[in-house]
Structure 1
Amino acid sequence: MAIRTILAPVAGTAIDQRVLAMAFKMAKRFDAHLEALFVAAEPQDAIPIVGEGMSGLIIEEMIRAAESETEKREVSGKAAYQAAFDNAGIDASDAPTAEAKPTCAWRKDNGREDETVARRGRLFDLVVIGRDPKEASASLTFDAALMETGRPILVAPEVAPTTVGEKVMIAWNGGVEAARAVTSAMPLLRTAKEVTIVSIGDVPYGRACGKALAEQFRWHGVRSSSRG
Structure 2
Amino acid sequence: MTIRTVLAPLTGGAVCETVAQAAARLARAFNAHLIGLHVRTDPATAVPYVADGLTADIIHELVASADRAGAQRAEEARKIFESIIAELGLRLDAPREPDKPSARWMERTGIVGETVGRMARVADITVVAKPDPKHDPLTAGLLDDVLTRSGRALMMAPPKLPERIVERVVVAWNGSTEAARAVSDALPLLKRAQEVSIVTVGDIHPERPDAEAIAEYLTYHGVKPQVLKMDLKDGGVGATLLEAATRARATLLVLGAYSHSRWRELVLGGVTRVVVDQADLPVVMSH
TM-score normalised to the size of structure 1?
Answer: 0.95
Aligned mates of 1:136, 1:148 — CA distance in 2 = 20
CA offset at residue 160 of structure 1? 2.2
CA deviations 1:196-222 (Å, max 9, x no partner) are 001110001310111111111111111
CA offset at residue 95 of structure 1? 5.0
Indicate the larger mover: 19-28 or 154-163.
154-163
* 2:108 match: 109
Counterpart residue type for residue 200 of structure 2: S
Q: Does the 8 Å CA contact 2:11/2:138 hold for their aligned counterparts?
A: no
* 2:281 match: none
CA deviations 1:34-80 (Å, max 9, x no partner) are 00001122112211153333221221121011101101101211111
Mapping 1:49-198, distance limit 5 Å: 49-93=49-93, 95-97=95-97, 99-130=98-129, 131-134=131-134, 135-198=136-199
**CA 188–226 in structure 1, closer or farther in 2 if over 3 Å, else same:** same
Aligned mates of 1:181, 1:153 — CA distance in 2 = 9
Aligned mates of 1:179, 1:52 — CA distance in 2 = 54
* 1:27 match: 27
Aligned-partner SS, 2:107: strand
Aligned mates of 1:160, 1:79 — CA distance in 2 = 20
Q: Does the 8 Å CA contact 1:50/1:59 hold for their aligned counterparts?
A: no
Flag structure 1 segments of 5+ consecutive residues without an equivalent.
none
> Percent identity of the aligned residues?
35
Aligned mates of 1:34, 1:145 — CA distance in 2 = 17
Matched, 1:207 2:208: yes
Aligned-partner SS, 1:89: coil
Indicate the larger mover: 74-83 or 27-36.
74-83
How many aligned residue pairs are there?
227
Aligned-partner SS, 2:212: helix
Counterpart residue type for residue 105 of structure 2: W
Q: Please tell me the root mean square deviation across aligned C-alpha atoms, in Å.
A: 1.4
**CA 220–58 in structure 1, closer or farther in 2 if over 3 Å, else same:** same
Q: Does the 8 Å CA contact 1:34/1:104 hold for their aligned counterparts?
A: yes
CA deviations 1:88-134 (Å, max 9, x no partner) are 1121236532x421111111111121111011110100001102232
**CA 173–154 in structure 1, closer or farther in 2 if over 3 Å, else same:** same
Aligned mates of 1:83, 1:136 — CA distance in 2 = 24
Aligned mates of 1:150, 1:143 — CA distance in 2 = 12
Q: Does the 8 Å CA contact 2:124/2:152 hold for their aligned counterparts?
A: yes
Counterpart residue type for residue 226 of structure 1: V
Aligned mates of 1:91, 1:225 — CA distance in 2 = 38
TM-score normalised to the size of structure 2?
Answer: 0.76
Aligned-partner SS, 2:141: helix
Aligned mates of 1:40, 1:123 — CA distance in 2 = 20
Aligned mates of 2:162, 2:57 — CA distance in 1 = 49
Aligned mates of 1:209, 1:180 — CA distance in 2 = 15
CA offset at residue 136 of structure 1? 3.7
CA offset at residue 85 of structure 1? 1.8
Aligned mates of 1:137, 1:19 — CA distance in 2 = 13
Aligned mates of 1:127, 1:95 — CA distance in 2 = 22
Aligned mates of 1:37, 1:142 — CA distance in 2 = 15
* 1:226 match: 227
Q: Does the 8 Å CA contact 1:45/1:112 hold for their aligned counterparts?
A: no
Aligned mates of 1:193, 1:108 — CA distance in 2 = 37
